[in-house]
Amino acid sequence: MSHQKQFRVVGILAAAFVLVLAFHSTASAAVPCESLMGLKLTDTTITLAQSVEAGKFAPAAAGGRGGGGNAFADLPAFCRVAATIKPSSDSDIKVEVWMPATGWNGKFQGVGNGAWSGSIATNDLAAGIRKGYATASTDTGHEGGSASFALGHPEKLIDFAYRAVHEMTVKGKAITTAFYDNSAPKFSYFVGCSAGGKQAIKETQMFPADYDGVVAGSPGVNWSGRALQTIWVGQAVAQAPIPQAKFAAVNAAAVAACDAIDGVKDGVIENPRVCKFDPQVLLCKAEDNNSCLTAPQVETARKIYANVSNSRTKQSLVAGLSPGSELGWTTMAGAQPFGAGVDLFKYVVFGDANWDFKTLNWDTDLDKTLKASKEMDALDPNLKPFFDRGGKIISYHGWTDPQISPGSTVDYYQTVLDKMGGASKVQENYRLFMVPGMNHCQGGTGTDQFDKLTALENWVEKKQAPASITASHSTAGKVDKTRPLCPYPQSASYKGTGDTNDAANFVCK
């Protein structure tokens, strides 16, 4: 054989070998899905190991939250594993792990829950496998959306607070490794918003080895503070309610006072913390109507904006809602107090399902509340173990969130800066993006759509720290505005020329 032919044969063989390696690393699972029924894991029983054909997932069989059947018609073939984990005698943690049958990206993703949610997040599992992730979700150890499970069940409360997510992560990675023929995930990420955002931060605090990076959206890190704010606002509303029909007028006045501070009048308040808005400007001059507030209603509005504070020590417990959030005030300032906040007092603090929110005593009940909520709060500012491993946090929060105070996320971030030695010691591991005009996790007048996960992947895997993240706003499915999201405390500043709906005409300052 000539040297030329030898080189050609060697080249063909080498190319074939590369293709085999690539196929093995990203394409096919090496063990049958159903064989995972025999997998032995500590405190764990595998209850389902089922191959699901492409487009054949039936959401009704999942027992968790999901959309209609058509929402899952585009899913690839995957291996669906369900398990029950019992780390304590009173634990009953359900988890599901979905793993692409082919095209696995070599990564693991944990997804979060909302409020007191006790269900598997099928929509989020589906989103994960669409991107090629082996994805895991947990019901946090109970069923339903109330905290009633916690009454008389301290171990279940611990499961909800942090243990279920950690167990899901450890067991989920083990299941993933077994399915892909002893190939462990190269990278692991957690993505959550609201309670899921709190779960993300809690993981970095308590189990720094679980994930390489987390996305923590609208994180309820101050779980006790949000509950106290529920009662703070609820008691004010009980004394002087503001009819929902007036919320639009309050919002219009706040936007009028604060919108143009950033140099662009676009109906969005860029940074409410530099906005000085007093609802006194809406005081009725004559008869009461939907465009003005009575004197008692002005005081209620002021209470909603004000920090919740300890009446004895004057210490701030949680930041108030921001100017611009008024269109969503039904959540906190509606006819009844926010249920997720009231639940903490009924089932955790006082152990009384009939507890009346009007009876909270701001002098005597605060210490009891903070003590009872300690496991659920995620306020520990010491993230050194997570940072030392190279862990990354992308956190975000909408400034007009009416459910979890955006200021509480800013305040937690500041405690991390204070603890860890300032921005220079934190910014290479933790960046916070405040989103003007965005409501709770999404929605609102601001640019609420952006790819958090890709930004996190690039940071962890390619060392590309996010100097900004481009976000968009859509109306009727069509993008009508883009804007850069900037690492706090920076905000987007208009360059002075060009379309103000184009992110290219803004810079982070």
168: nearest Cα among 126, 196, 131, 129: 196
Rounded Cα–Cα distance for residues 415 and 422 (Å): 10
Select which of 194, 218, 322, 395 is catalytic. 194
How many other CB atoms are there within 10 angstroms of residue 368's CB atom? 13
**What tokens were used for 357?**
């929110």
Question: Can you give the pLDDT at residue 69?
Answer: 45
Question: Can you give the pLDDT at residue 266?
Answer: 93
Which residue, 372, 397, 419, sits at the end of a domain? Answer: 372
Specify whether 332 is located in the same domain as 453.
no
Specify whether 354 is located in the same domain as 233.
yes
In a domain, 136, yes or no: yes
* 459 SS3 class: helix
Number of domains observed in the structure of the chain: 3
In a domain, 14, yes or no: no
Query: For the domain that residue 393 is a member of, what is the CATH number?
Result: 3.40.50
Select which of 92, 210, 343, 401 is catalytic. 401
Specify whether 103 is located in the same domain as 156.
yes
**What tokens were used for 278?**
């007093």
Question: Can you give the pLDDT at residue 30?
Answer: 67
Which residue, 341, 372, 403, sits at the end of a domain? Answer: 372
Residue 3: CA atoms inside 13 Å, Cβ hemisphere, count? 0
Question: Can you give the pLDDT at residue 239?
Answer: 97
In a domain, 5, yes or no: no
| Three-state secondary structure of 119-169 | CCEHHHHHHHHHCCCEEEEECCCCCECCHHHHCCCHHHHHHHHHHHHHHHH
User: Could you tell me how many residues make up the chain?
Assistant: 509
Which residue, 372, 401, 430, sits at the end of a domain? Answer: 372
Specify whether 292 is located in the same domain as 349.
yes
Question: Can you give the pLDDT at residue 68?
Answer: 44
Question: Can you give the pLDDT at residue 313?
Answer: 85
Specify whether 108 is located in the same domain as 169.
yes
In a domain, 4, yes or no: no
How many other CB atoms are there within 10 angstroms of residue 476's CB atom? 5
Rounded Cα–Cα distance for residues 305 and 333 (Å): 11
Distances from the Cα of 411 to the Cαs of 141, 182, 311, 438, in angstroms? 30, 43, 20, 18
In a domain, 20, yes or no: no
Specify whether 109 is located in the same domain as 140.
yes
328: nearest Cα among 251, 273, 274: 251
Specify whether 499 is located in the same domain as 358.
no
Specify whether 433 is located in the same domain as 351.
no
Question: Can you give the pLDDT at residue 60?
Answer: 65
Q: Is 166 a catalytic residue?
A: no
Q: Which residue has the tokens 């850069």?
A: 484
Maximum CA pair distance of the chain?
Answer: 104
Specify whether 202 is located in the same domain as 159.
no
Question: Can you give the pLDDT at residue 7?
Answer: 37
Consecutive 10-residue averages of pLDDT for the chain (509 residues): 42 39 46 97 98 90 47 95 98 98 97 96 97 98 97 97 98 98 97 98 98 98 98 98 98 96 92 94 96 98 96 90 98 96 98 97 93 96 98 98 98 98 97 98 97 98 98 96 97 94 96
In a domain, 12, yes or no: no
Specify whether 251 is located in the same domain as 347.
yes
Select which of 142, 153, 166, 440 is catalytic. 440
251: nearest Cα among 301, 300, 287: 301
Q: Is 473 a catalytic residue?
A: no
Which residues span the domain enclosing 337?
225-256+275-372
Specify whether 180 is located in the same domain as 206.
no
Bridge partner list, 79: 51, 99
In a domain, 11, yes or no: no
46: nearest Cα among 152, 201, 171, 216: 171
Contact of 137 with 333, CB cutoff 8 Å: no
Contact of 313 with 323, CB cutoff 8 Å: no
Residues 6+ apart with CB under 8 A from 313: none
In a domain, 407, yes or no: yes
Dihedral sign for Cα atoms in the order 193, 194, 195, 199: positive
Specify whether 461 is located in the same domain as 486.
yes
Q: Which residue has the tokens 């002087």?
A: 240
